[in-house]
């Protein structure tokens, strides 16, 4: 048998030869309905809305910016 890398490749052949970014993107696509990671711009858009007059009646809320990964 080879080193630990060889054992890991046998246990998770779908991950063999993948970069951490490729593994992350694959996972995000599998668990997120929007099938993409959220960006700083996504967060900024929510913040901009919350500080606007359009959100003046929103109080005490937890708003997930997660592409639908958590749904209540």
pLDDT score for 9: 54
pLDDT score for 48: 97
pLDDT score for 6: 59
The rounded distance, in Å, linking the Cα atoms of 28 and 67 is: 9
Distance, CA of 2 to chain centre: 34
Per-residue 3-state assignment (H helix, E strand, C coil) for the chain: CCCHHHHHHHHCHHHCCCCHHHHHHHHHHHHCCCCCCCCHHHHHHHHHHHCCHHHCCCCCCCCCCCCCCCCC
- pLDDT (tens digit, 9 = 90+) per residue, 17-57? 899 999 999 999 999 999 999 999 999 999 999 999 999 99
- Tell me what the mean pLDDT of segment 1-26 comes to: 74
pLDDT score for 54: 97
């Amino acid at each position: 048998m080879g080193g630990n890398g060889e054992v890991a490749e046998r246990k998770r052949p779908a991950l063999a030869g993948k970069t951490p970014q490729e593994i992350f993107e694959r996972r995000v696509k599998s668990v997120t309905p929007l099938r993409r990671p959220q960006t700083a711009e996504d967060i900024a858009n929510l913040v901009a809305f919350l500080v606007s007059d359009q959100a003046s009646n929103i109080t005490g809320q937890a708003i997930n910016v997660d592409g639908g990964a958590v749904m209540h």
